């Protein structure tokens, strides 16, 4: 098998240093990115295309983890927030803000869900989320307003660095339009895993999981070969006497046609001419393939930050720990990832819509995050007795409560709430 890492290694090694624009000789990767050689595109040996072909298309665990992350973030409802002093507050109900309308209808081919889904997949497989802006007459009658957002693979667009200035613009890294420039203001760029050596280009999550993914794909292919050979890796078909090579080939081919493959397993074999078939037993090393796949699965799920139970492993699952796994996913993976994505969108659109407004995600509809612990209830009750309104308590303790106009006079404890309702 052309391995996950061997593909990348063979594709990008063995190349000498080339000559860049203006006769400037290119430098090793770390030097180019760390020191910002003037006028040079950021180079990387990582390929998002190879990561998708060798990971997403071949490993069911990678597919499950990547889609769990992408779809959970893309499914979050959005809201507009305005900045007041040092706090962001939700906007009042009313017509959709132009910023929210842009994200809900980013272009003719994608809606918000598809745009963010592709963006998160770009983070995981390419290490970078890249959206380009389309400009024209926007809903606020600005001639140079942002009217579209388009996803673009990280293989096709790279930042260009200037010494002492960081990123100055972006360039197309592939044909067609190789070398075409995009102003920095027209690109939203969010890095995946930060690389301390490369402050302008992120690390793909799959890059760190390459060996585990490669091992899982190899094990899956090995299992497929076993089933295609009738649940046996091989066997010995022997004949008495001194048969010719032609006779041996004829008997072997006839036996394989009748008994080879999973669809023929279990069929009755009848031998003549003193023929005998001896199957080879699976040795201990080959029996470790299944255990190896389990270890690879655990490493892949851990690398993506997705609890295995959310990927279909219910061997140790029950109702309580499944809900807790979902809660852990949101607290440790989902919400931080959403903050990265929406924070990057806010930063990338600030110049176009102003500093004091942003589109943000809403977690109030996530059921597992609305489960209040006793400690949260105690803290909330204490604050409520001190006269602090519930909406403020909800914000400070991040309780995720959906409040109404009457909420500020309703006690939090169930027994107190029942007494309040009876009195009303």
Q: What is the pLDDT of residue 270?
A: 59
Instruction: Check pLDDT > 90 for residue 31.
Output: no
Calpha distance 353→149 (Å, rounded): 14
Instruction: Check pLDDT > 60 for residue 27.
Output: no
Calpha distance 33→40 (Å, rounded): 9
Express each pLDDT in 214-247 by its tens digit. Answer: 888 887 777 666 655 554 445 666 767 777 888 7
Length of the chain as a residue count: 424
Q: With contact defined as beta carbons under 8 Å apart, do 360 and 339 qualify? A: no
Calpha distance 43→97 (Å, rounded): 38
Task: Dig out the tokens for 142 from the structure.
Answer: 């600005």
Q: What is the pLDDT of residue 264?
A: 56
DSSP codes, 48-84:
HHHHIIIIITT-HHHHHHHHHHHHHHHHS-EEEEEEE
CA distances from 90 to 94, 98, 154, 213, 296 (A): 12, 15, 33, 42, 43
Calpha distance 264→72 (Å, rounded): 43
Q: 25-39, 90-104, 119-133, 153-167: lowest mean pLDDT where?
A: 25-39
Count each helix (H run) and each strand (E run) in the chain, helices first. Answer: 15, 14
Q: 97-101, 104-108, 160-164: lowest mean pLDDT where?
A: 160-164
Instruction: Check pLDDT > 50 for residue 337.
Output: yes
Exposure string of 14-23, with b = 16+ CB inside 10 Å and e = fewer, is eeeeeebeee
Element (H, E) at 423: helix 414-423
Calpha distance 150→131 (Å, rounded): 5
Beta-carbon neighbour count of residue 161 at 10 Å?
25
CA distances from 397 to 244, 342, 386, 400 (A): 84, 21, 15, 9
Q: With contact defined as beta carbons under 8 Å apart, do 144 and 129 qualify? A: no
Exposure string of 366-380, with b = 16+ CB inside 10 Å and e = fewer, is bebbeebeeebeebb
Q: Give, to the nearest 10 degrees, the angle between helix 284-304 and helix 210-228.
A: 140
**Average per-residue pLDDT in the chain?**
76
Instruction: Check pLDDT > 50 for residue 367.
Output: yes
Three-state secondary structure string covering 193-230: EEECCEEEEEECHHHHCHHHHHHHHHHHHHHHHHHHCC
Coil, helix or strand at residue 150? strand
Band of residue 173 on the pLDDT scale cut at 50, 70, 90: confident
Q: What is the pLDDT of residue 409?
A: 46
Q: What is the pLDDT of residue 175?
A: 73
Q: Where are the alpha helices (DSSP H) in 13-147?
A: 29-35, 48-51, 60-75, 98-104, 112-126
Instruction: Check pLDDT > 60 for residue 26.
Output: no
Closest CA to 200 of 51, 30, 27, 341: 30
* CA torsion through residues 200, 206, 209, 214, sign: negative
Closest CA to 5 of 66, 62, 47: 47
Residue with tokens 């779809």: 71
Please give the backbone phi and psi of residue 344, each rounded to the nearest 5 degrees, phi first: -65, -40
Q: What is the DSSP letter of 109?
A: S
pTM of the predicted structure, to 2 decimals: 0.69
Instruction: Check pLDDT > 50 for residue 201.
Output: yes
Max Cα separation, the chain? 101
Beta-carbon neighbour count of residue 80 at 10 Å?
18
Task: Dig out the tokens for 339 from the structure.
Answer: 């903050």
Taking the alpha carbons at both ends of the chain, their separation in whole angstroms is 72
Exposure string of 382-405, with b = 16+ CB inside 10 Å and e = fewer, is ebbeeeeebeebbeebebbbebee
Q: Which residues have C-beta within 8 Å of that of residue 285, sequence separation ≥ 6?
A: none
Q: How is the beta sheet containing 87-90 ordered, strand by strand?
A: 87-90, 78-84, 357-361
């Amino acid at each position: 098998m052309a391995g996950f890492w061997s593909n990348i290694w063979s594709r990008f090694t063995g190349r000498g240093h080339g000559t860049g624009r203006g006769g400037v000789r290119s430098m090793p990767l770390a030097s180019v990115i760390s020191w910002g050689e003037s006028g040079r595109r950021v180079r990387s040996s990582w390929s998002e295309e190879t990561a998708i072909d060798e990971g997403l298309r071949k490993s069911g665990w990678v597919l499950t983890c990547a889609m769990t992350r992408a779809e959970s973030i893309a499914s979050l409802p959005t809201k507009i927030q305005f900045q007041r002093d040092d706090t962001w507050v939700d906007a009042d109900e009313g017509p959709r803000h132009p910023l929210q309308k842009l994200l809900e209808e980013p272009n003719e081919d994608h809606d918000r869900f598809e745009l963010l889904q592709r963006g998160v997949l770009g983070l995981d497989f390419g290490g970078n989320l890249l959206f380009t802006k389309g400009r024209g007459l926007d809903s606020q009658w600005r001639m140079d307003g942002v009217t579209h957002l388009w996803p673009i693979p990280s293989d096709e667009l790279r930042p260009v660095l200037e010494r002492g200035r960081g990123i100055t613009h972006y360039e197309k890294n592939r044909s067609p339009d190789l070398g075409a420039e995009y102003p920095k203001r027209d690109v939203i760029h969010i890095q995946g895993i930060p690389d301390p050596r490369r402050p302008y280009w992120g690390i793909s999550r799959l890059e760190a999981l390459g060996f585990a993914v490669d091992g899982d794909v190899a094990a899956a292919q090995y299992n497929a070969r076993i089933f295609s050979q009738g649940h046996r890796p091989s066997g010995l078909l022997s004949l008495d006497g001194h048969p010719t090579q032609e006779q041996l080939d004829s008997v072997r081919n006839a036996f394989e046609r009748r008994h080879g493959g999973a669809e023929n397993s279990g069929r009755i074999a009848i031998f003549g001419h003193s023929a005998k078939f001896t199957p080879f037993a699976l040795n201990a090393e080959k029996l470790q393939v299944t255990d190896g796949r389990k270890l690879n699965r655990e490493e892949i799920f851990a690398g993506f930050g997705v609890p295995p139970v959310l990927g279909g492993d219910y061997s140790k699952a029950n109702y309580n720990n499944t809900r807790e796994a979902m809660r852990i996913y949101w607290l440790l993976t989902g919400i931080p990832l959403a903050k990265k994505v929406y924070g990057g969108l806010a930063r990338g659109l600030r110049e176009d819509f102003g500093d004091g407004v942003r589109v943000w995600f809403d977690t109030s509809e996530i059921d597992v995050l609305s489960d209040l612990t006793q400690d949260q209830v105690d803290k909330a009750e204490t604050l409520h007795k001190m006269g602090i309104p519930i909406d403020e308590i909800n914000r400070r303790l991040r309780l995720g409560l959906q409040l109404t106009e009457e909420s500020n006079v309703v006690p939090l404890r169930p027994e107190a709430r029942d007494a309040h309702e009876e009195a009303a």
